[in-house]
Amino acid sequence: MAFDFQGIATQFVTHYYTTFDTDRKALAGLYRENSMLTFESSQALGTANIAEKLTNLPFQKVKHHFDTADAQPTATGGIVILVTGQLLVDEEANPLKFSQAFQLVQDPQGQWFVFNDIFKLVFG
């Protein structure tokens, strides 16, 4: 069955970064107990651990701007997304470049959630 993986990916990425920038606690609903986050080489497994990691990052304000969100369907009906962009932390003048990869899958109710999430700042 064909589905609009690029449309779903674009909608997800827009929602994810809007939520991250305005209410990080609300991101917990995008993960499940078997989800894994790798944030700058630090891993967190499960909704509670991921939410704790994302809400305890060492900054108060953040604004993401994503430049690209490339998506591909997976063999199991999921979606792999690679995002590149820039973020401003605590209103600093110099944006930081980042790359983030997501794997979205559907739960038994058909809701998309983040199964894998890998975030990396890009220096250089």
Residue in the block written with tokens 């929602």: 15
| Residue-by-residue pLDDT tens, the chain, 124 positions | 478 999 999 999 999 999 999 999 999 999 999 999 999 999 999 999 999 999 999 888 999 999 999 999 999 999 999 999 999 998 788 899 999 999 999 999 999 999 999 999 998 7
The pLDDT assigned to 1 comes to 47
Closest CA to 97 of 109, 111, 83: 83
Q: Edge-to-edge, what's the strand order for the sheet holding 79-89?
A: 42-45, 31-39, 112-122, 96-106, 79-89, 62-73
Residue in the block written with tokens 């220096």: 123
Closest CA to 115 of 20, 30, 8: 30
The pLDDT assigned to 92 comes to 80
- Give the predicted TM-score (pTM) of the model: 0.94
Q: In angstroms, rounded to a whole number, what is the distance separating the alpha carbons of residues 46 and 33?
A: 4
Q: Which domains, and CATH codes, for the chain?
A: 5-122 (3.10.450.50)
